A and B are shown apart, each in its own frame.
Chain A
Amino acid sequence: DAGITQSPRYKITETGRQVTLMCHQTWSHSYMFWYRQDLGHGLRLIYYSAAADITDKGEVPDGYVVSRSKTENFPLTLESATRSQTSVYFCASRGLADEQFFGPGTRLTVL
């Protein structure tokens, strides 16, 4: 399927567990992003990547790790999940004229 996909769409985990959220895009866009969206905060940037093997922190990176070994994949890992990381996570890639294409989101609940 063309576009940007995320998996899983829903995830429930427990405090302290490691969780990985997957993101895959088919356009070969150089830039990819991870955001979290919480009520009252809008979209906040966690990490971004300018190309394979190039990643950098965003606004709220603590507790998260990313990697980008291939252009099309950009997984986000919560090393030890906390309740404050309960959120909806969006992956995006950037095309022409700064347009960002967002995935469908992953709703994560940490118990």
Chain B
Amino acid sequence: KNQVEQSPQSLIILEGKNCTLQCNYTVSPFSNLRWYKQDTGRGPVSLTIMTFSENTKSNGRYTATLDADTKQSSLHITASQLSDSASYICVAPGGFKTIFGAGTRLFVKA
């Protein structure tokens, strides 16, 4: 069964600290994996895409990694800011469907 599991469910960190969000996927055939950011009251927006051949990709303070052998991806946020408070959703196409993780809710406190 195609599925995407994320951890932790929620996370509270202090402004300026780093954090890492995890995504385990079981999707076949695998083509790519995206991380979306969803601010409160808004629709999700794509942060980055990871394809099978990519190990690491950065988008500003966001760095995504992909380990195709263990079927794991992570999103690392460096020097967090208050504006990073959001839900982060891991997403993978699974055949004709799109498989969404349940998301990690990140709270950045001053």
Instruction: Give the B-binding residues of A (Cβ under 8 A).
Output: 33, 40-43, 45, 90, 92, 97-100, 102-105
CA distance A102 to B41 in the complex (A): 12
Type the 1/0 row for B75-110, where 1 means its CB is closer than 8 Å to any CB of A.
Answer: 000000000000001010100011011110000000
CA distance A47 to B84 in the complex (A): 31
Instruction: Give the A-binding residues of B (Cβ under 8 A).
Output: 31-32, 34, 41-46, 49, 89, 91, 93, 97-98, 100-103
Asked whether B44 lies within 8 Å of A102 as measured between CB atoms, the reply is yes
Asked whether B49 lies within 8 Å of A97 as measured between CB atoms, the reply is yes
Asked whether A98 lies within 8 Å of B98 as measured between CB atoms, the reply is yes
* Residues of B contacting A105 in the complex (Cβ-Cβ under 8 angstroms): 41-43
Asked whether B43 lies within 8 Å of A90 as measured between CB atoms, the reply is yes
Which residue of chain A has the shortest Cβ distance to B45 in the bound complex? A102
